[in-house]
Structure 1
């Protein structure tokens, strides 16, 4: 469904992503790992359209979408959750999700559209808020939520758009031990559907080991390993050079 061919970006003389070619199939959760500065988030930005590539292509269903903007790629089915939450802070939790539901159904982004005849959209909004355990906080402003609840709300927005490709960039970063399992359970449920591409940038190797069907390792912008989790984690070169001492100890 999703493929990158020779995807590259340069910032001056620095090559941040270096000719990365990779294909991702529906029903598979791929973890993209590597040390800080390896190019993981930049690779995500190239796929989702936040950055223009210096070279290479992004293909969705064999169609080249490299020239499309980030919103155009979203409409084609690419969904992205960021390291830093991307919400409407001055709107309520419910209004945030309502807008995403409305946008997916072709209702635009007009918050004041009359919803009396759209009980199905309202019910979908309620179901999503219940799924991410935010229904009790539906009237709170998004800006007033804890960091963990903001991450859950962002996942709800992503689910409301119902993309064919889910991209999660460190979804549990900054979350407490009590909050993180909710987001991980949501990702598990999406994976269980077996009809979506799921990409996950994550530093926590216990999470990667549990969720991933496949691990792709980047180092200095280049793809250096790609395969089943057990084989990649056991690789000496990956343990020593790319995942760090802590991951080596965990894998032992």
Structure 2
């Protein structure tokens, strides 16, 4: 039986009188890419934020590899194997492309986040960092300051930093948002490559249906914060509940 790496149980968050995520129970298995879809305001990114620890849950539980992580910090969840790439870039803008990835590598390998250490003092780390940059086709920009990168290249760097963490669970929040037609395939090819490792799981928030059709093994649908559909892509995308949600119609009796 395929291992469940991540699970949410009755996960809920309220902001005042508004329920943004409403008792979502869902499990995510190793070797599976799950696309999380829904109309704007459905709670997709909020659900991601609850899982990764950016916001605290009002009720419910998040479990990673059998361990309750609901009250743990973002950094602690990361060390336990939960990796998140943000919809908005989360980088060190004044450092070089290479230094950003090297620092992630140092942290993962237990070398500490030392901004003053040199690449030469961590030869193995540097070699691994360069290999990741080659995968995302940023090796030629290794010495460029991150603040000088195009938006698309910043998104690719963020994916590189997530890959450098080698998490058990990869979380991508609209990874190609703002990318040009030429830039997006690099990131999509990387996610396809990551799928080949059947020991890990991938969660993907995405609006582009062509991307979802290409990558997803499974789709879950959120609407008004609630889980309203879960299953194989063809089945879920053909369902009335998804058609109504994306047409902006009111969903009743779900």
* TM norm. shorter chain > 0.5: yes
- Give the whole-Å Cα distance in 2 for the aligned partners of 1:156 and 1:29: 18
Query: Residues 132-143 of structure 1: matches in 2 within 5 Å?
Result: 132-143=136-147
Name which of 190, 209, 213 aligns with 2:213. 209
Following TM superposition, by how much is the alpha carbon of 1:201 offset from its aligned partner in structure 2, in angstroms? 0.2
Does the 8 Å contact 1:217/1:242 carry over to 2?
no
Does the 8 Å contact 1:30/1:212 carry over to 2?
yes
Aligned to 1:164: 168
Aligned to 2:154: 150
- Give the whole-Å Cα distance in 2 for the aligned partners of 1:40 and 1:46: 10
Aligned to 1:249: none
Q: CA RMSD in A?
A: 1.0
Pair 1:242 & 2:245 matched: yes
Aligned to 2:81: 77
- Give the whole-Å Cα distance in 2 for the aligned partners of 1:138 and 1:114: 15
Following TM superposition, by how much is the alpha carbon of 1:118 offset from its aligned partner in structure 2, in angstroms? 2.6
Name which of 198, 202, 205 aligns with 1:198. 202
Does the 8 Å contact 1:29/1:199 carry over to 2?
yes
Matched residue of 2:117: which SS?
coil
Does the 8 Å contact 2:35/2:218 carry over to 1?
yes
Following TM superposition, by how much is the alpha carbon of 1:179 offset from its aligned partner in structure 2, in angstroms? 0.3
Matched residue of 1:116: which SS?
helix
Aligned to 1:220: 224
Aligned to 1:111: 115
Runs of 4+ in structure 1 off by over 2 angstroms are: 113-118
- Give the whole-Å Cα distance in 2 for the aligned partners of 1:104 and 1:150: 21
Aligned to 1:64: 68
Deviations 1:61-114 (A, max 9, x none): 111010101111011111000110000000000000000000000011112224
Q: Which runs of 5+ in 2 are unaligned?
A: 249-254
- Number of matched pairs: 244
Following TM superposition, by how much is the alpha carbon of 1:122 offset from its aligned partner in structure 2, in angstroms? 1.0
- Give the whole-Å Cα distance in 2 for the aligned partners of 1:150 and 1:117: 26
Does the 8 Å contact 1:19/1:222 carry over to 2?
yes
Q: Which runs of 5+ in 1 are unaligned?
A: 246-252
Does the 8 Å contact 2:229/2:241 carry over to 1?
no
Does the 8 Å contact 1:33/1:243 carry over to 2?
no
